[in-house]
Structures are given as C-alpha cells and as structure tokens.
Chain A
Amino acid sequence: MTEHHPGPAIRRSWRRLALALLAGTGLTAMAEGARAATPGNAMVMAWNIDAISTFDPAQIGEVVTSELLQNTCDSLVAFDPKDESKLVPALAERWEVSPDKQQITFHLRDSLAFPSGAKATAQDLAWSMARVVKLGFGNSATLTEYGFTKDTVEQRITAPDERTLVMKLDKPYPVNLVLQAVAANRVATLLDRQTVMKHEVNGDLGNKYLATHTECVGPYHLRQWNAGESVVLEANPKYWGPAPKLKRIIIRHVAEAGTQRLLLEKGDVDVARDLTPEDMQAIEKMPGITLSRTLKPQIVYWGFNNANPIFAKEKVRLAMRYLIDYEGLGKTVMAYNGVPRASFAQLGAFGALDEKEGQPFKLDLEKAKQLLTEAGLPDGFEATMIFGTLPYAAPIAQHIQQNAAKIGVRIKLEQMANAQLFARHRGREFETAMLAWQTSVPDAHGNASRQIYNPDNRAEAKLTQYPSWRHSFQDEKANKMVQAALLEQDEDKRAEMYHELQRDMMQRGPTAIMFQSIMLAGVRNTLKNWTWNGFAAYYDLASKE
C-alpha cells in the first residue's frame, strides 16, 4: 500500500503569478499576431490545388491548372468574359479565312513580349503549337483531331513573318469551332522558345522545365508554386493588354471545405472554391459574402457497357433513364452541384437543345418496367455500377439502386478511388459506370465527337480517349450524323442536325446523362468584378476597393 501525502506541489504564489503573466503575455501577443486580412493589391483564394502536377500547356488537363494557364498564357483568341459562346481577339488582333474555309491567317499584335522583355513572335507560336503535337500528351488530340499530325504540323501551321500565323486545315471545318477548339485553347499558347529550349533535357522540348515555370505571354506569370501549399501569380509588366488591377494572385491550398469556409468568413481569403452544399447554404445568407455560380461544360452520366448483351438493347438503356428522379435529385443532392440535363450537348453550347427539351425524362417506374418487358427482360436482371469519390456520386448511386430494385433490377454498387474508376472505364472493365466528362468547346461537336462518335469499336483499336469506345458503342447512323454536322457550312442547318442527334441519343445513346455540373465560389464583397464562365476565370478583371 502506498502512502499518500497530498499537498500543493507549487506553493509559492509568485510562481503562479509569473506563470499567469507569461500565459497572458503569450496569448495577447499571439492574438496580435493572429490579426489578418488579405492584402489590398492581391486576390487570395482558397482552393484544393492538389491536382497540379505541371504547368506545361502541352500536358495539363485538369481544371485548376487550366484556369491558371488561362491567366498566364494567352491563346490566339479568347472566350468573351460576358458570353462564352463568343470569341474575342487575344494574341491575334484579327484573322481571315480563305474562301475554301481551309486556311485561317492570324495577324498577331505588334506589342507581344514575354515577361522577360524578349519579343514574342509568330515563329515562337508555330513552334509552341507543333510542340504540343510532337510531345503527344492528351492535349495533342485537340490538334490531331483537326488534321495536324506529327508529320504534318510543321507544314500546316507556319509563320511567314513575325506577326503572321497560318493554319491550314485538312477539311473545311466550321471556322468558329476551329477557333474555339484550337485557337482559344491552351494548345495555341505562345511559349518563349529560346528560354524553354535552353532547359531542354533528353529531347523533352522543355517539358520538365515547364513543369514548374510559365514562359508565356499573359496578364500574369507564375512567381512561385509550392506543391500542396500555394501558387503565386504576379502581374506581367510587359503585358500587351490593360494591366491587371491586382498585382498578385495568391492561391492557398486548402483541402478541407470547412477550413475554406472559416477562412472566407474571417476575411483571410477573398474567394473559396470548394465549399460543400451545406457551407454554400449558410454562406448565401451571410452579409459580406456572395455566392457566385456558373455552368460548367461538364456532364455527369451513368454509362452502360454495350458489350454486355443486356445493355446492348436500346430499350434497356432507355428504361434506365426512367429510374432517375432528375427533379428530386436536382433539388436535393445536386442543388449546389448541377442542373438536370439529359442531352449530351451542354447548356450554353452551340447546337444545344434548350433546358426543357434537353431534359424530357422523369422518374417513371411503370414505363421503365414496360420497356424492360419489351426488351425481353420482364423479371429484371443483375448488374454492377462502379463510381468514384465525388461527394454526390454515392447518394445518386443509392437512389438509382433503390428505384431499380422496385422493377426487379438488382444493382450492385462498387465505390472506388477515382484513379481506379478511370482505369476500369478506360479498360472497358465495367457493366455500368457513373462518371463526369468535360468538353473543351462551347459547341455540341465537343461531346458529339467523343460521347457519340466512335471510329473503330474493335478492342484492339484501344480508342480510350473516346468514351463511346469505352462504352463499346458504335452506331453507323450516329457516326455519319456527327461527321456531317461537323462539315455543314450553314450554321442553322448545323444546329438543327445537332438537335436531331441529341433527340435520337437521348432515346438510344450509350449513356443516361443526368446533370450538367455547376461551379460555385464564395466571394467576399470586398473583391469586385470576380468574372468567370464555364471555360475561364478572368483574374485580371478582378479589383478591390
């Protein structure tokens, strides 16, 4: 038995006093240190920027870096900040189209210079565009699709002088589409050839160097990137256009949505990009903060593998669409994530059906059951749905599973990491899959050319960049319509062709398209003119009081 002698460990009162004073001083000093606000000449943004892995325009493919490059690397032309379906001059101040519509001549501005002060020329631009094709990353498809291959790109994209760039097309594509898809895209950014080639390693055309640098003509340039920590852009003093109103853009990597909300509420950031629906609901009512929203050119869909005999039946695929409560989900799970959309062409795109006609479905279990009976499956069937980790994926999957069970369709749900989901989808290793797909053009052709058109359905063709191939979907009639619409010169006729294709594909297509995503950001009212659309965010227009 141990004997206890309780008694105060520290008796002397001066010690207590000293400790209290020390603690008090520390807290006061820290509270002083804790005072913060965003600098007046900078925009501070909280964003999950984990996905950044490079700043090479030839390689980047995800949302964050695309947006950063749009603000550091101008393209030949740009999307109008007020209307994304319109194009405005950027590096090129004007352009001409040949009568046969197979040649576009761009006239570059006279005052183009890199942040280093070196003059930027059309030769640099032609080299930059050829570089994208030669490197062969995913972005090269943007150019190869319009006939610029490794063998032809140097002949088809030329610079007869310092200010003229000529693009020769292999077919008379709609000019507006070429401008949107190629000229306004990151594949038409102007790189500082000399600087980039100075850092070439093993013939990589500066790919390694550009992983951490931007050597472009744009309103800002990359000053600092600490992976998983922050990105800092600084205004380019040599910029040809109006000088950006804010000198610095500071993007702080904040992965946790709750933390982003606190930072925004306290005024430690001006913009928060990854808030949850609950946060947005609360923020909508807060003084001093505005919720800014814009439609994204991304569709969320439930795709069916047509190699599976069950899903090869058009009526089965159609029946699945009637299992989705578009309206109910749109008001609940997707309230801050997307708008109901069943057509492959996103709202805002050329040739897209309007909101009403582009979403004619509603939850109708009887109709679904009837379609299954007509397809010869009155007792239903069993299938697996794979889906990723997007916050809304699991609730939608469960919603479909419950509705499907009511008509005898037993859906097994399998959730996995997104990287694994993409690998399974690319490899055709699925029965049904829920994913999102983003197009790079405000034109119905963007999704028609990937979601519907499939030039070769053989397994060995491995056309993994085509979701249509991944779904083993090839329809001769649809293929012809996509091709015909692409080369139709009359705009009204072309739009009508897409309308017809959308109506057809909503009935027979390989996927049940469910939503078009929306982007939301919490913006403090001290930041003025936060401007964005589905294709770009314009940091150079933002200002502060």
Chain B
Amino acid sequence: MAEAAATSARRSGGAAPALPAWAGTALRLIVSIAVTLFGLMALTFLIGRLLPLDPVAAILGDNATQEAYEAMRAQLGLDQPLWIQFARYVGDVLRLDFGTALTTGKPVLEDVARVFPATIELATMGILIGTGLGIPLGVFAAAYRDTPLDYFVRVFGLLGYSTPNFWLGLMGLVLFYANLGWVGGPGRIDTAYQWDVEPVTDLLLLDTAMAGQWEIFWNVLSHIILPASILGFGALAYISRMTRSFMLEQLAQEYVIAARVKGLSWMRTVWVHAFRNVVVQVITVVALAYAFLLEGAVLTETVFAWPGFGRYLTNALLAGDMNAVVACTLLVGVIFVGLNLLADLLYRLLDPRTH
C-alpha cells in the first residue's frame, strides 16, 4: 500500500510540484488562444498569397514598366518562397509590426487605431439598443406565450433577421433624414462641426460629453442614432429570440409553479426567479452579438458613409491589400476570443454552480 502510494507520488510529478488547478486552466487557455490565433494567421496569410490579386499592380498602377514591377515585387519580398514570407510575417506580427497598408500608405496599426473607434461607438450603441429592447421583448414573449405580444415579437424578430441592413439603411435615410429631418445624414458628424471636437478617445459621443460640447453631442447623436438602431434591430432579433427560447425552458420548470403556489406575482416569478437562471446564457448571446457588430457592419457603414472597421477591411480586401487584411482578420479573431473569454469569466462569476 505504502509502495503504491510512493509510485503514485512519483508519477504525479516527482521532483516538479504539480500545478495548481487555476494555473493549469490558465495555461490551457493561453495555449488554446495562441493556437487559434496562429492558425488564423496562417490561414489568412495563405489565402492572401493564393488569391489572384496583385498587390504590386495596386501600388504601381496599370501603366508601370515590367522593370519597375519586378523591383517593387522584390521590395515587398513577394519574390521569396512562401515559407520565408510567412516566417518574416510571423516575426513582424510578434513585434506588433503589421506593415504598411498599400491602400493608405500608413502603418496598418495606425489605420486600425483610426477606424476602430468609429466602429466601437456604433457597435456599442447598437448593442445597447439591441440588448435594451431585445431582452425585455424576449422575456415578455416567453411570459405571454402564444398571445398577440408573442406573435408580434416573433414576427418583429424575423424581420430583423431577414431584412437587409442595406435596404433598411437607405429607407431609414429617405424617411428620417431626407423627408422628416429628424436625424443627421450620413457620416459621424456635420461638416460644420468637424474641426471643433478635440479627439481624446475618438469616440465622439464621449469626447463631446467630456468637453461639455452639448450642441455637438446632440449632432453626433443625431448621426449615430439611425445606423445604430438598424444594427440594434438585427441584434435585437437575435437576442429576443434566444432569450425567449431560454425563458420558455425555464418557465416550464417546477420551481416556477412552486413560486406561483407560494403566491408570488407572475411578473416577479418571471423576472426574479426564471430570468435569473437564464442571465448567464443571455450574456453569452449578447457577447456574441456584440462581437459580430464589432467585426464591422460593412453594408451599414457603406450606406451611412461611416468610416469604420468593416469598410476598411472590405476595401483592403478588394484592393488586394493583404497587410491590412491579415491584420484586420487577426483583430477580429482577437475580438471573438476576447469576448468569449469575457463571457466565460462572467459565467463563472454569475453562476453559483461554477463556484
């Protein structure tokens, strides 16, 4: 028995002490994130090199001589074997050097830092609208299942799923901007105010509020409200449908009947007891919806002339600007991994069963 115990001790580590459980989890997490990002990097790099796009022609134009063409190709390192190009690229990325964007002539990191705040602002407003309306609608639809309210929420959600943002954006502009004049036009701010905002965070609502420039704040709000509502509509559709489905499952549980038998009101049962049990799942859904919005809504950004991340990525892709494409794809990967991680952490925090 004693011998068996000694053997077991040797097997479980011997000289090296065993890692605590939290450290093992953290290590697994880090390795999994690193492998995900490396895989993403390799995939996007390969796609970039295999696509029939010509970055040299993008720089030199259609009129360049073959001599100039070959020289630029060598300058960009495109004449090297693929594995050398990839190794160099990985080295650069580890130094946070994503190279220069062909389409803007600026470092990719600088470009991303410039366009991302516009998307963060729009996506955050969108998710606030989507969550603020989506969760109550989902809960009410479940609480009043098969009533006109439920049908309304379901049809409304279906519309959010199926109506193209592009069309909604244009119709919204025609109605609320061109005809009613309730909201500002395309762009983040009126031309007249463009130079009056001192950029601190580049989130215009925040910057103007911090500076007490309320007139400009309202102008910025008038510009963001329509595209954010349209993005929020899509998020609302997803969040309300998922919330409804989670809630239906909970409302069928016996503890709900027990709560009602104890004399609790229906609303209290729904919100205080049943909803509490779906909060964790809803957070995951909201995090995913937010990640999708942060990725950049290309069509919404195009219609609203919104200088955001989605449009930057699309333009880079169309122009064969692979430095920008790979960097943006990595960023999207990081956003998804980061938000998933955040959802996981919140899950642990909010769900007592995981303690």
Question: Are A and B subunits of one complex?
Answer: yes
Contact, CB under 8 Å: A34 / B320: no
Give the chain B neighbours of A54 by CB distance below 8 A: 105
Q: Is B237 an interface residue (CB 8 A)?
A: no
Q: How far is the CA of A36 from the CA of B190 in the complex (A)?
A: 7
> With A4-B145, A33-B184, A227-B106 known to touch, is A419 a contact of B318 (CB < 8 Å)?
yes
Bound CA span A298–B63, Å:
14
B42 close to A (CB within 8 Å)? no
The answer, among B59, B252, B307, for a CB contact under 8 Å with A53, is: B59
Within A344-378, which residues are at the interface with B (CB < 8 Å)?
Answer: none
- Nearest CB of B to A240, in Å: 27
Q: Which residues of A contact B170 (CB under 8 A)?
A: 256, 258-259
Cβ–Cβ contact A29 & B303, under 8 A: no
Distance A259 CA – B300 CA, assembled complex (angstroms): 11
Please name the residue on chain B nearest to A462 by beta carbon.
B66
- Residue contact B68 to A138, C-beta cutoff 8 Å: yes
A266 to B311, CA, bound (A): 24
Chain A binder among B27-35, B81-89, B173-181, B341-349: B173-181
Chain B residues in 8 Å Cβ range of A44: 191
- Contact among A29, A36, A141 for B185, CB-based, below 8 A: A36
* Residues of A within 8 A of B (CB-CB), count: 67
Complex CA–CA separation, A27 to B318 (angstroms): 38
Per-residue 0/1 for B67-83: is the Cβ within 8 Å of any A Cβ (1 yes, 0 no)?
11101000000000000
Question: Do the beta carbons of B68 and A419 come within 8 Å of each other?
Answer: no
Asked if A155 is an interface residue, CB under 8 A from chain B, the answer is no
Residue-wise, chain A 28-39 has the 8 Å CB interface mask toward B (1 for contact) of 011111111111
Q: Which residue of A lies closest to B66 (CB)?
A: A462
The answer on a CB contact under 8 Å between B186 and A464 is no
Q: A7-B267, A53-B59, A263-B185 are in contact. Are A226 and B114 (CB under 8 A)?
A: yes
Which residue of chain A has its CB nearest to the CB of B311?
A: A228
Interface residue A212 (Cβ < 8 Å from any Cβ of B): yes
Stretch at the interface among A86-94, A246-254, A527-535: A246-254
**Chain B positions within 8 Å of A50 at CB level:** 103, 315, 319
Q: Which of B182, B191, B305 contacts A250 (CB 8 A)?
A: B191
What 1/0 mask marks residues of chain A from 259 to 282 whose CB sits below 8 Å from any chain B CB?
A: 100110110100000000000000
Q: Which of B174, B178, B218 contacts A30 (CB 8 A)?
A: B218
Binds B, one of A330-338, A420-428, A508-516: A420-428
Q: Is A194 an interface residue (CB 8 A)?
A: no
Residues of B within 8 Å of A263, CB to CB, are 185-186
Chain A CB within 8 A of B102 CB: yes
| In the complex, residue of chain B having the shortest beta-carbon distance to the beta carbon of A6 | B144
List which B31-74 residues lie within 8 A (CB) of chain A: 52-54, 57-69, 71
CA A3 – CA B266 in complex, angstroms? 9
Stretch with Cβ within 8 A of A (4 or more), from B17-25, B219-227, B284-292: B219-227
Q: Which residues of B contact A3 (CB under 8 A)?
A: 257, 260, 266
Residues of B within 8 A of A291 (CB): none
* B133–chain A nearest beta-carbon distance, Å: 13
Which residues does chain A contribute within 8 Å of B178, judged by CB atoms?
262, 265-266
Q: Are B191 and A255 in contact, CB atoms less than 8 angstroms apart? A: no
Q: Which residues of A contact B304 (CB under 8 A)?
A: 259
Min CB distance, B57 to chain A, in Å?
6
Instruction: List residues of chain B with CB within 8 A of the CB of A33.
Output: 184, 215, 217-222
Q: Does A463 contact B (CB under 8 A)?
A: yes
Within 8 Å of chain A (Cβ to Cβ): is B312?
yes
Cβ-closest chain B residue relative to A254: B305
Of all chain B residues, the one with the shortest Cβ separation from A30 is B222
Are the C-beta atoms of B221 and A30 separated by less than 8 Å? yes
**A137 and B177 within 8 A (CB):** no
Chain A contacts for B294, CB-based, 8 A: none
> Are B307 and A253 in contact (CB-based, < 8 A)?
yes
Evaluate contact between B64 and A138: CB separation under 8 angstroms.
yes
Specify which chain B residues have a CB less than 8 angstroms from the CB of A465 in the assembled complex: 62-65
Nearest residue in A to B105 (C-beta to C-beta)? A211
Chain A positions within 8 Å of B187 at CB level: 252, 254
Cβ of A138 and Cβ of B63 under 8 Å apart? yes
Q: Which residue of B lies closest to A467 (CB)?
A: B62
Cross-chain contact A39 with B315 (CB below 8 angstroms): no
What are the residues of chain A within 8 A of B192 when measuring CB–CB? 36-37, 39
* In-complex Cβ contact of A419 among B64, B143, B320 (8 A): B320
Q: Which chain B residues border A227 with CB–CB below 8 Å?
A: 101, 103-104, 106, 111, 114, 312
- Note all chain B residues with C-beta closer than 8 A to A35: 181
A136 close to chain B: CB less than 8 A: yes
Bound: A404/B134 CA distance, A: 56
Determine whether B302 belongs to the interface, using a CB cutoff of 8 Å to chain A: yes
* Residue pair A266, B177 in contact (C-beta under 8 Å): yes
Q: How far is the CA of A212 from the CA of B104 in the complex (A)?
A: 8
Contacts of B257 in A (CB 8 A): 3
Nearest chain-B residue to A227 (Cβ)?
A: B104
Q: Is the CB of A417 within 8 A of B318?
A: yes
Q: Which of A146-178 contact B (CB under 8 A)?
A: none
Identify which of residues 145-196 in chain B touch chain A, using a CB-to-CB cut-off of 8 Å: 145, 147, 170, 173-174, 177-178, 181-187, 190-192, 194
Q: Which residues on B sit within 8 Å (CB–CB) of A211?
A: 104-106
Q: Is residue B140 contacting chain A, with contact meaning CB distance below 8 A?
A: yes
Q: Is the CB of A256 within 8 A of B303?
A: yes
17 further A-B pairs in the complex, CB-CB below 8 A; given A141-B65, A253-B305, A263-B186: A2-B252, A2-B256, A38-B191, A53-B103, A53-B104, A136-B68, A136-B71, A211-B104, A227-B111, A252-B191, A252-B305, A253-B307, A255-B311, A262-B186, A266-B185, A420-B52, A462-B66
| Partner-B contacts on A (CB < 8 A) | 2-7, 9, 26-27, 29-39, 42, 44, 46, 50, 52-54, 59, 61-62, 136-141, 208, 211-212, 226-230, 250, 252-256, 258-259, 262-263, 265-266, 268, 417, 419-420, 422-423, 426, 462-465
Q: Can you list 28 A-B pairs with a CB-CB distance of less than 8 A?
A: A9-B140, A30-B183, A30-B218, A34-B219, A34-B223, A36-B184, A53-B103, A62-B61, A137-B64, A138-B60, A138-B62, A138-B65, A141-B64, A212-B106, A229-B307, A252-B187, A254-B186, A259-B170, A259-B305, A262-B178, A263-B186, A419-B58, A419-B318, A419-B320, A420-B53, A426-B57, A464-B64, A464-B66
Which 3 A-B pairs rank lowest in CB-CB distance, beginning with the nearest? Answer: A211-B105, A61-B61, A33-B218
